[in-house]
Structures are given as structure tokens and as C-alpha cells.
């Protein structure tokens, strides 16, 4: 009997992966690559770093797959790993900044959309970069719940589960993060 991997639960895929079925690893990666990337990009504020950290997240997750409880959501488990990898990345980045005193060079985006005027694209990109930078500058205690709730669309209970805090703490931190972003916006104009 052959089981279609797309129909398997996360717990079944993890068990198949642990049993040596490589396609099960691929299915887990396919299911959760995009949400993990968005979560990481929101925390790092940098697409290139987000790719690297996302890759590190899945390497760590697959290496620790034996510790995954198949009765719980895989997304919650891998998101927690991703947040830890983001924290590691932030610490490494802080050390590099300390020793180099140089700011990282932002990658230029050369993608054009003919339906939108170039000046509007430039303004939109600048605004998006400013927002990403402002979010990345938030303390982790505010940034993480904001990204999980607004970018990832998780509810308060899911966010609280990933972060290991109460639902009320999630609500409070998201409120404070939004206020901090509003304050930073008013300072820039």
C-alpha cells in the first residue's frame, strides 16, 4: 500500500522521514518553507539573511526530528526553531557589527513592473524597506508576536504557544509593537 504524502498528517510525515523516506522530508519542507521564510524575513529584515536562516532552520529541524511530538502542529515546532535561529543570527550580526563598525549593504532590487510607474515602485520599495527596518529594530519581545500575528496570520493562542507566553501577553506585545512602529513613523516624517 502506497500512501500519498500530500494526504499525510505532519506526524505521519515525520515518522516516515525518521524511517528513512526522503520524500517525506521534501513534503514537510514544501509545506512549511514559505511560512518559515516569512517569519524569518520579518525578524531579520533582510531577504538574503532570511534565506540562510530558513535553510539553517530546516537543517536543525530535520536533525532534531526525533524530538518532534507528532500529535502537535509541526508549524508551531518549526516556528520555534526558526525564532531561535533568528536570535542566533541577531547575536552573530551584533558581534560582526561590533568588530567591523560597518553596516550591512542592502541588496538592490532590480525587478520592474510595467503596470506601476517607476517612481511609485521606488517609493513603495523605500517604504517597505523602512517598515522592515523598523520592525527589525523592535525588541524581540515585541517583534516576534507582531510577525506571528500580522505576517503569519496566527491567532493569539497559536502565537502564545510558539512563544511560550500567555494570550494576554501576546495581545499586549502586539499593541505595544504597533505603537512603537507608529512612533517611529511619525519621527521619520
For residue range 16-70, what is the model confidence (pLDDT) as tens digits?
Answer: 888 888 898 899 989 999 999 999 999 888 889 999 999 999 999 999 999 988 8
Q: Is residue 46 domain-shared with residue 96, that is, in the same domain?
A: yes
Query: Cell digits for 100?
Result: 567591523
50: number of Cβ within 10 Å? 22
Q: Is 158 left (phi over 0), alpha (psi -120 to 50) or beta?
A: alpha
Q: Are residues 92 and 173 in the same domain?
A: no
| CA–CA gap between residue 9 and residue 153 (Å, rounded) | 21
In this structure, are residues 73 and 10 in contact, taking their beta carbons and an 8 Å threshold? yes
| One domain for residues 132 and 64 | no
Contact 177, 171 (CB under 8 A): no
* CA atoms of 134 and 148, how far apart (whole Å): 16
Predicted TM-score (pTM) of this structure = 0.58
Specify if 106 maps to a domain. no
Please give the DSSP secondary-structure letter assigned to residue 185: H
Tell me how far apart the terminal alpha carbons of the chain are, to the nearest angstrom. Answer: 64
Q: How confident is the model at residue 189 (pLDDT cuts 50, 70, 90)?
A: very low
Question: Do 75 and 122 have their domain in common?
Answer: no
Number of domains in the chain: 2
Residues 6+ away with beta carbon under 8 Å from 105: none
Among 53, 73, 100, the domain boundary falls at 100
Residues 47 and 126 in one domain: no
pLDDT tens-digit profile of 112-165? 445 667 777 788 888 888 888 888 889 999 999 998 998 888 899 999 999 999
Structural domain including 95 reads 9-100
Q: How many CA atoms lie within 13 A of 1 on its CB side?
A: 1
Amino acid at each position: 500500500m502506497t500512501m500519498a504524502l500530500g494526504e499525510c498528517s505532519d506526524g505521519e510525515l515525520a515518522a516516515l522521514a525518521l524511517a528513512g523516506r526522503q520524500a517525506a522530508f521534501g513534503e514537510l519542507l514544501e509545506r512549511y518553507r514559505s511560512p518559515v521564510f516569512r517569519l524569518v524575513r520579518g525578524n531579520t529584515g533582510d531577504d538574503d539573511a532570511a534565506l540562510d536562516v530558513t535553510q539553517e532552520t530546516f537543517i536543525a529541524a530535520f536533525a532534531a526530528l526525533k524530538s518532534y511530538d507528532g500529535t502537535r502542529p509541526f508549524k508551531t515546532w518549526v516556528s520555534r526553531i526558526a525564532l531561535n535561529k533568528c536570535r542566533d543570527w541577531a547575536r552573530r550580526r551584533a558581534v560582526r557589527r561590533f568588530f567591523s563598525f560597518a553596516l550591512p549593504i542592502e541588496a538592490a532590487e532590480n525587478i520592474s513592473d510595467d503596470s506601476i510607474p517607476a517612481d511609485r515602485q521606488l517609493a513603495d520599495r523605500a517604504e517597505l524597506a523602512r517598515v522592515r527596518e523598523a520592525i527589525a529594530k523592535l525588541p524581540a519581545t515585541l517583534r516576534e508576536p507582531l510577525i506571528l500575528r500580522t505576517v503569519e496570520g496566527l491567532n493569539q493562542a497559536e502565537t502564545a504557544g510558539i512563544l511560550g507566553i500567555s494570550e494576554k501577553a501576546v495581545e499586549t506585545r502586539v499593541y505595544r509593537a504597533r505603537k512603537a512602529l507608529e512612533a517611529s513613523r511619525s519621527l521619520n516624517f
